[in-house]
Amino acid sequence: MGRLPEGGIAVITQVLVLNGPNLGRLGIREPEIYGSVSFDELAELCRSTGRALSLHVDVRQTDDEAEMIGWVHEAADARMPVVINPAAFTHYSYALRDALAMRTAPLVEVHISNPAARESFRHTSVVAAVADGTVAGFGLVSYQLALQAIAELLAERAKQAERTQHADRAQP
């Protein structure tokens, strides 16, 4: 899904896939909920999915809220799309929510499990309102679906920009 601007050269879009607290422990943390796949395997799944969608995927994980917010600022400054699994930050980090509200490119919230089917404290996402959408409950496939959504959102934005550019050229 690489876009072809004037000149016919494919544009590969960089996407950040950000992961919050404890996701670095995938494979050993509550495998009955999060599965037995390691974080490294998740990262490779995201990168290979991205390649198939002509996206360059940079997968990161942190247990530190300030580091996560720094990455979100980096993405906003670079107009870079983001897939984010905020993990525990989902439910209480207004600082992360405010950083995400400054986004300049598509944003998809993702969760491996379905928070709505779990403990009541997990039912609220403070970041959902500033995201284009949320994909949850499909295990690691949630990340693949989120990356597909990013690719589709980018393609739609490119079509809109092309239509606008074409309309501007048509005016005398």
Q: What is the number of residues in the chain?
A: 172
What CATH homologous superfamily does 13-170 map to?
Answer: Dehydroquinase, class II (3.40.50.9100)
CB 55 within 8 A of CB 150: yes
pLDDT on residue 3? 47
Residues 6+ apart with CB under 8 A from 72: 18, 82, 84, 96, 99, 100, 102, 103
Which tokens in the block code for residue 69? 């917010």
Say whether 111 is catalytic: yes
Task: Point out the catalytic residue in the list 111, 123, 143, 166.
Answer: 111
Within a 10 A sphere around the Cβ of 109, how many other Cβ atoms? 24
pLDDT on residue 101? 98
With tokens 């290979």, the residue in question is 48
State how far the Cα of 46 lies from the Cα of 70, in Å rounded to an integer.
21
pLDDT on residue 121? 65
Q: What is the pLDDT along the chain (172 residues), one digit of tens a residue?
A: 444 444 555 567 999 999 999 999 999 988 888 888 999 999 999 999 999 999 999 999 999 999 999 999 999 999 999 999 999 999 999 999 999 999 999 999 999 988 776 767 676 899 999 999 999 999 999 999 999 999 999 999 989 888 887 677 777 6
CA nearest to 18, candidates 92, 81, 77: 81
Say whether 34 is catalytic: yes
pLDDT on residue 166? 67
pLDDT on residue 31? 81
Please give the helix or strand (H or E) that residue 107 lies within, else none.
strand 107-111
Task: Point out the catalytic residue in the list 34, 56, 92, 123.
Answer: 34
pLDDT on residue 29? 86
pTM to 2 decimals? Answer: 0.87
pLDDT on residue 37? 93
State how far the Cα of 91 lies from the Cα of 123, in Å rounded to an integer.
8
CA nearest to 18, candidates 49, 58, 45: 58
